[in-house]
Amino acid sequence: MFEVGFSEMLLVGIVALLVLGPERLPVAARTLGRGLGQARRAMQGLRAQMEREIDMPNLDSAPLQRLEQELRQGISLKAEPATDAATVTVIRETTS
């Protein structure tokens, strides 16, 4: 995730020691470690939940299949085209 080398970690540690001091540094490190652990566990839980949702089979796809079949039947029905030119012009005049 973050590409932090040893030298960067050492620099952060020295700055933290200078800023926090030797008394508060262990407490801050412990708090930071706990926070990172909780964040890592939360991300693992989220990842596991998403994988379960993705892998979940379709439990009841029968209503969807019936709906698809009805839609396909409705599309296959053909309306008779208007062959009379007067009918077409009347429809156009009423919609305008």
Residue 53 has pLDDT above 90, yes or no: no
pLDDT level of residue 85 (50, 70, 90 thresholds): low
pLDDT at 96 (0 to 100): 54
Task: Name the band, by pLDDT with cuts 50, 70 and 90, for residue 14.
Answer: very high
- As a whole number of angstroms, the distance between CA 49 and CA 43 comes to 10
Mean pLDDT score, 77-82 = 62
SS (H, E, C) the chain: CCCCCHHHHHHHHHHHHHHHHHHHHHHHHHHHHHHHHHHHHHHHHHHHHHHHHHHCCCCCCHHHHHHHHHHHHHHHCCCCCCCCHHHHHHHHHHHC
